[in-house]
Structure 1
Amino acid sequence: MLITMFKGFVIGAGLIIPIGAQNAYVLSQGIKRNYHILAATICIICDFILMSLGVFGGGALLNSHPVISYTVTILGIAFLTFYGALFFKSFYVANNDEMAKEMSLATKKTVIFTTLAVTLLNPHVYLDTVVLIGSISGQFAVEERLFFLFGTLLASLSWFYALSLGAAKMSPWLSKPHVQRIINLVVAMIMWAIAISLAMTLS
């Protein structure tokens, strides 16, 4: 059972750790120390729900309704393009301290909404969690799937809390104006790159 759990942890980490919209946003909130634990927790809860759906048969349901994937893709492209523009604006106006400070602030509701958006409006999240995790779990016996699921969830919990807490701990250095400006530009590029990759899947 421990081997199954370990396999789940390794596979989950391999799918979660590569940089994406979720990681970029949690990192930016950690640097700002702006509800970063909340953002990480929301990501973990979403992973818990989606991975559980995958392990218990949600992948087949998703594949049988392509219109859902298409709709999420369109919404994801729009949101990531818009949010990338916000980060680029932060990069562009970084010399204006007052405006940069204003843009860096976010209410709890904004953090909740944005974290949910960067998570649920990215079709790759469903591919990784529901489809891939679901299909991989099929190779295990029924009684082993819960251990596999627990391993993947442990990977999500470990990664997102480590990312948010690590960024917060390094905040004094990462929040320096010139470093923050580079981070804002990188995050904007990541958001736009994901939006472009999603748009290419529609052609």
Structure 2
Amino acid sequence: MLLTYATGFGLGGGLIIAIGAQNAFVLGQGLRRNHPMMVAFVCAFCDAILIAAGVAGLGTLIAAYPILTKIAAWGGGAFLIWYGFGALKRLFETETLSEEAISKTGWQAVLSTTLAVTLLNPHVYLDTVVMLGGIGGQFPADQRLFFALGAMSASFVWFFAIAMGASWLAPYVARPVTWKIIDGLTCAVMWLVAYSLLAPEISAMVAG
């Protein structure tokens, strides 16, 4: 059972740690000290639900209906492009870690954006529901729970680590030039992920 848990933890960590839109968002909120613990919990909790659903068999259902992945790709790509434009806009503003900057975004807005970054990104479903769910489904029935718990634990450890780590680093990266770099990288990551989602769909439309 411990080996199965460790396998889930290792595979989950390997997929979640990869640089992507969700990690960039969590890092940015942590550096801004803008409800970082809530952001980390929401991301990890959503991952836990999706991992459980995948191990329970949802990944097989999604694979049987490709239209679901197409809808997710277009919706997620559009959102990430929009969010990237927001980061690009901030490049031309003077942003610091003053108390005004920290408190200007309420928890409701941060929560809704966190859910959007998490649930409108098809890569999240591919990693948690399809890949982890598919791998976990190959274990004997009495070991799937331990595999899922291992993957869930990796998600909680990772998101809280980067949220707390970024919050701790915030006082040392308070210069405006640092924020221009962060927003530039955020914009690049969001648009690269959007491109990876939309390019295959656009190519398929052109070829069709």
TM bucket normalised to smaller: over 0.9
Partner of 1:52: 52
Partner of 1:82: 82
Residues 94-147 of structure 1 show CA distances to partners (whole Å, capped at 9, x for unaligned) of 37x7xxx66983211111111111111111111110010111112311101111
- State whether residues 32 and 104 of structure 1, in contact with CA within 8 Å, keep that contact through their aligned partners in structure 2: no
Secondary structure of the corresponding residue to residue 33 of structure 1:
coil
Q: What is the TM-score when the length of structure 2 is the normalising length?
A: 0.91
Partner of 2:206: none
What is the rounded CA distance, in whole Å, between the counterparts of 1:175 and 1:198 in structure 2? 33
- State whether residues 87 and 187 of structure 2, in contact with CA within 8 Å, keep that contact through their aligned partners in structure 1: yes
Secondary structure of the corresponding residue to residue 178 of structure 2:
helix
What is the rounded CA distance, in whole Å, between the counterparts of 2:178 and 2:85 in structure 1? 18
Partner of 1:181: 180
Partner of 1:194: 193
Partner of 2:42: 42
What is the rounded CA distance, in whole Å, between the counterparts of 2:63 and 2:103 in structure 1? 39
Q: Per-residue deviation at 1:65?
A: 2.1
Structure 1 residues not aligned, in runs of 5+: none
- State whether residues 58 and 129 of structure 2, in contact with CA within 8 Å, keep that contact through their aligned partners in structure 1: yes
Whichever residue aligns with residue 111 of structure 1, its letter is V
Going from structure 1 to structure 2, the CA distance change for 1:104 and 1:62 (only over 3 Å counts) comes to farther
Secondary structure of the corresponding residue to residue 19 of structure 1:
coil
Whichever residue aligns with residue 169 of structure 1, its letter is W
What is the rounded CA distance, in whole Å, between the counterparts of 1:21 and 1:80 in structure 2? 8
What is the rounded CA distance, in whole Å, between the counterparts of 2:103 and 2:190 in structure 1? 17
- Root-mean-square deviation (CA, aligned residues, Å) is 1.6
What is the rounded CA distance, in whole Å, between the counterparts of 2:146 and 2:37 in structure 1? 26
Structure 2 residues not aligned, in runs of 5+: 204-208
What is the rounded CA distance, in whole Å, between the counterparts of 2:51 and 2:173 in structure 1? 32
Partner of 1:30: 30
Whichever residue aligns with residue 93 of structure 1, its letter is E
What is the rounded CA distance, in whole Å, between the counterparts of 1:65 and 1:104 in structure 2? 43
The worse-fitting range, judged by mean Cα deviation, of 63-72 and 147-156 is 63-72
Q: Per-residue deviation at 1:79?
A: 0.8
What is the rounded CA distance, in whole Å, between the counterparts of 1:103 and 1:170 in structure 2? 14
- State whether residues 32 and 175 of structure 1, in contact with CA within 8 Å, keep that contact through their aligned partners in structure 2: no
Partner of 1:10: 10
Counting matched residue pairs gives 199
Partner of 2:153: 154
Whichever residue aligns with residue 174 of structure 1, its letter is V
Whichever residue aligns with residue 118 of structure 1, its letter is V
Whichever residue aligns with residue 28 of structure 2, its letter is S
Secondary structure of the corresponding residue to residue 131 of structure 1:
helix
Q: What is the TM-score when the length of structure 1 is the normalising length?
A: 0.93
